[in-house]
Copies of this chain bind each other. A is one copy, B any other.
Amino acid sequence: MNVRLTSPGPTLGVVGGGQLGRMLGEAAGPLGIEIVVLDPTPDCPASPVVNDQIVGEFDDPDGLRELAERADVLTFEIELADPELLETVHEETGVPVEPSPSTLRTIQDKLVQKRSLAEAEIPVPEFRRVDSVEDLREAGEELGWPLMLKARRGGYDGRGNVAVDGPEEADDAMAEIGGDAMVEAFVPFDRELSVIGVKGEDTTDAFPVTETIHKQEILRETVTPPQVGNEADQSEIERRAYDVASDVLDQMEGRGVYGIELFEVNGRILVNEIAPRPHNSGHWTIEGAITSQFEQHVRAVMGWPLGTTDRRCPTVTTNILGGVAEPRPAELTGVETVLAGTNANLHWYGKQEVRPLRKMGHITTTGTDPNALLKRTRDLRDAVSFETPE
């Protein structure tokens, strides 16, 4: 397509103004694209770096209509966006929504998501629908214990997921999740990996694979490239991950980047979960790749040519999580150590309140040896704290 730049430039409307919206805003400026976000929290994280915020719930019809009226293209940075409403507003206004609301609908329901992948013969862990304690016990007999019980909708950062070690834990687990769930066989993975894929106007691409390190099901660090034995093993794993990601992208409808979380087990690659948006496991691309996942998402949803996805250099990121027992106003101390860190870049999300394990920012380091970077990055992270010194 021909691209013309004007001032003011085209406007991208984003449902959600959290840290992903903020980093979309940071990436859109150099491209000459203005961003308006719809978010219920006044002065949401994206607000200081984007053109404007409409204060409204993610599924507020009036808010979404206003967003569409001001935008040339609509996208979302959170799965809580409402696919039906997006479709309605698209039909009313003609403003394109990327990725497609139908993709969002499929992905929102973890059971439907897994079924659609399985139907496309994409390797996934074994899974079953679970509506009751009985279903859960039956699944355990079939798939073996432990199992991972997941709410079909609305879970994130470990919320809505419960590990179930045996039938005696079934009652408690179902009570915690409620009905409307699914289980997956436990995958004794060697490593967790992630690929950020991207669908453009008529091309598909993916960023180099990254290794993801979780604790309590929350992403803690990414290591790019993954440290996988020798170089031959590494390129083989990278190739397989890329192939699986490519098959996943073929199943997705609509332009944009997709975070594709993977398990590596005995050299096989299984798909864990997909996010139809920029993903925490792709934050390394801001410094570590020629084009960041955020710039790539903006380019893709606008229908512009995609940027180069090549890795600049080995890169490690670590999240700054809310290390507090109770919510309180966010105040991070020790930041001077991160700022003074060699080859270190800080990203603060601007959230007003810190909560236990809430994602508050991240630190990126670049260099040559991923293992050394990982140690150094963890040291930097451990230097900051939300605890007020007595």
Residues of A within 8 A of B (CB): 1-9, 22, 25-26, 29-32, 34, 43, 45, 48-51, 290-291, 299, 304-308, 310, 312-313, 329-336, 339-340, 342-348, 350-352, 361, 366
Q: Are the CB atoms of A331 and B290 closer together than 8 Å?
A: no
Copies of the polypeptide in the assembly: 2
Sample of 17 more A-B contacts, CB < 8 Å, known A5-B361, A290-B345, A305-B336:
A4-B331, A4-B335, A5-B335, A6-B329, A6-B331, A8-B43, A8-B352, A9-B348, A26-B26, A26-B29, A29-B48, A30-B345, A31-B348, A290-B343, A291-B345, A305-B339, A312-B312
Q: How far is the CA of A9 from the CA of B309 in the complex (A)?
A: 32
Contact: B336 with A7, CB < 8 Å? Answer: no
- Bound-state Cα–Cα, A369 to B351, Å: 42
Which residues on B sit within 8 Å (CB–CB) of A342?
Answer: 308
Given A3-B339, A344-B308 in contact, is the A350-B22 Cβ separation under 8 Å?
no
Q: Which chain B positions have C-beta within 8 A of A334? A: 2
- Bound form: Cα–Cα A8–B22 in Å: 14
**Cβ distance A354 to chain B, nearest Cβ, rounded Å:** 9
Which residues from chain B contact A339 at a C-beta distance below 8 Å? 3, 299, 304-305, 307
User: Which residues of chain B have C-beta atoms less than 8 A from A351's C-beta?
Assistant: 7
A1 to B32, Cβ gap below 8 A?
A: no
B350 touches A32 (CB 8 A): yes
* Contact among B3, B4, B25, B305 with A49 in the assembled complex (CB-CB below 8 Å): B25
**Which of B9, B29, B31, B348 lies in contact with A5, CB distance below 8 A?**
B348
Report A377 CB to chain B, min CB distance, Å: 14
Which B residue's beta carbon lies closest to that of A47? B51
Quote the shortest CB–CB distance from A231 to chain B (angstroms): 21
Question: How far does the Cβ of A169 sit from chain B's closest Cβ, in whole Å?
Answer: 39
* B48 near A350: Cβ-Cβ < 8 Å: no
Residue contact B25 to A332, C-beta cutoff 8 Å = no
Interfacial chain B residues near A329, Cβ < 8 Å? 6
Question: How far, in angstroms, from A344 to B304 measured CA to CA in the complex?
Answer: 14
Q: Give chain B residues whose Cβ lies under 8 Å from the Cβ of A3.
A: 335-336, 339
A32 cross-chain contacts in B, Cβ below 8 A? 346, 348, 350, 361
CA distance A344 to B34 in the complex (A): 21
A327 to chain B, nearest CB (A): 13
A333 to B4, CA, bound (A): 5
Contact A331 B5 (CB under 8 A): yes
Q: Report chain B residues within 8 Å CB of A366.
A: 290, 312
| Complex interface: chain B residues within 8 A of A347 (CB) | 30
Q: How far is the CA of A353 from the CA of B300 in the complex (A)?
A: 27
When chains A and B are docked, how far (Å) is the Cα of A8 from the Cα of B348? 11
Give the top 6 A-B pairs by smallest Cβ distance, nearest first: A32-B348, A305-B340, A3-B335, A29-B49, A305-B339, A5-B332
Q: Looking across the interface, which residue of chain B has its beta carbon closest to that of A52?
A: B48
Q: Could you pull out 15 A-B pairs where Cβ atoms are within 8 angstroms?
A: A1-B336, A3-B339, A4-B333, A5-B335, A5-B361, A6-B329, A6-B331, A7-B351, A25-B29, A26-B29, A30-B348, A48-B50, A48-B51, A310-B343, A312-B312
Instruction: Please measure, in the bound complex, the distance between the C-alpha atom of A299 and the C-alpha atom of B344, giving whole angstroms.
Output: 13
Among A4, A8, A29, A345, the one with the most B-chain Cβ atoms within 10 Å of its Cβ is A29
Residues of B within 8 A of A310 (CB): 343
Are the C-beta atoms of B2 and A333 separated by less than 8 Å?
yes
Residue of B nearest to A6 (CB): B331
Q: Which residues of B contact A22 (CB under 8 A)?
A: 29
